[in-house]
Structure 1
């Protein structure tokens, strides 16, 4: 599987220079890693000069931080769009299972097929341990905003008596862990599940969540 979702020798010129730089850098960083990426390679792919990159984002460290921040902001924006469709759920097990399964399917399919989500996940997985100081933008604009928003949804379910009252942040994390339990190893091996497979994975993950959290 390619390190990025599509091949391109030069980023489309209809994008602004900054956007072309960030798109090119994301692709190259995913392919070569922070250590292997170069300003020259990004400049060539984005069809700009080295000096243009320095003017917009600075050196390679600044470029990496800018890419992470941009991808995290895009990913968070998409997540909040999906969160607007968080289901209305009553006290029946069927409603909890079906509603969260539909929501979970959208999340898994998006994480699989959206280039922003794939790039961001790959960079965090590959570079997070080696360069944690470069991922401050991801922590601030990604989990820092997503986790509280999702936790609030589960807090509402607990307040309505649909699920057990637990720490809502922990509940949200466990929901995501169960949702991605099958999906994560598949994608790490290079497999891209289609929508039906994402639905089946979501249903099984949600079933485990319902078994643990639903009020009987």
Structure 2
């Protein structure tokens, strides 16, 4: 959407809208080629052909293949983080139906952040290229796994005040929750397959039940409930 006071493009030259469309086309084409061929196997010529632009246009936007690759990762992370924080906003805020609410949250997390197109794409790139080109994934390390762990840790800390949770280390609990949520996903989902809603529900419920067996030991505190003070023997 154009800002009201944005300067008008010069007549006869490429418009900002056209430049933006080319940039999006290049990023989309590059994502497909990098995913298919890997970083070493991908060529600027192939990317340009799939983007329907010239080779020079790709270089005008991105100086070299490495810059383009990191731009692709950044673009995917931006979309993934947008989806992630939308899902985090639905985290349970009370303990009334903790198993069902956490299960529904885990289903949304897997369906919209782990098993969606962007989640599978970045996971494949990290698995195939991460060891050979670790510096290319610095953006992913900074903005990917760490963000969700930190956010979940804070959410579990908040939830523990109103729900039957007994957690000493919220960072560890968040990591374990994520590991459990992914543990029972069908293997084909990690190779491009899409799990069914029934498979997502089954995996999420098993994960939540295991999590609650480990951390669900504290009696819930109702609103306004006062804890009894016990006198220590003299």
TM-score by length of 1: 0.85
Once the two structures are TM-superposed, the CA of residue 61 in structure 1 deviates from its matched residue by: 0.7
C-alpha distance in structure 2 between counterparts of 1:212 and 1:19, whole Å: 46
Q: Is the 8 A contact 1:163 1:215 kept in 2?
A: yes
Paired position in structure 2 for 1:87: 92
Paired position in structure 1 for 2:134: 132
Once the two structures are TM-superposed, the CA of residue 160 in structure 1 deviates from its matched residue by: 3.5
Aligned residues: 201
Which has a greater percent of helix?
A: 1
**Structure 1, unaligned runs of 5 or more:** 1-12
C-alpha distance in structure 1 between counterparts of 2:151 and 2:113, whole Å: 18
Q: Is the 8 A contact 1:183 1:198 kept in 2?
A: yes
How far does the alpha carbon of each residue in 1:52-84 deviate from its partner, in whole angstroms, 9 at most, with x for none?
A: 111212211111111111111110110001111
Q: Is the 8 A contact 2:34 2:42 kept in 1?
A: yes
After TM superposition, the structure 1 = structure 2 runs for residues 149-188 of structure 1, keeping only pairs within 5 Å, are 149-160=151-162, 162-183=164-185, 185-188=187-190
Provide the aligned C-alpha RMSD in A.
2.1
Of the two, which has the highest radius of gyration?
Answer: 2
After TM superposition, the structure 1 = structure 2 runs for residues 27-176 of structure 1, keeping only pairs within 5 Å, are 27-90=32-95, 95-111=97-113, 114-160=116-162, 162-176=164-178
Q: 4+ residue runs of structure 1 moved beyond 4 angstroms?
A: none
C-alpha distance in structure 1 between counterparts of 2:197 and 2:61, whole Å: 38
Once the two structures are TM-superposed, the CA of residue 105 in structure 1 deviates from its matched residue by: 0.6
TM-score by length of 2: 0.79
After TM superposition, the structure 1 = structure 2 runs for residues 177-216 of structure 1, keeping only pairs within 5 Å, are 177-183=179-185, 185-216=187-218
Instruction: Please state whether the residue corresponding to 2:160 is helix, strand or coil.
Output: helix
Q: Is the 8 A contact 1:104 1:202 kept in 2?
A: yes
C-alpha distance in structure 1 between counterparts of 2:191 and 2:91, whole Å: 30
Q: Is the 8 A contact 2:99 2:209 kept in 1?
A: yes
How far does the alpha carbon of each residue in 1:94-138 deviate from its partner, in whole angstroms, 9 at most, with x for none?
A: x22111100001111124653222211211222111211100111
C-alpha distance in structure 2 between counterparts of 1:20 and 1:142, whole Å: 24
C-alpha distance in structure 2 between counterparts of 1:166 and 1:34, whole Å: 42
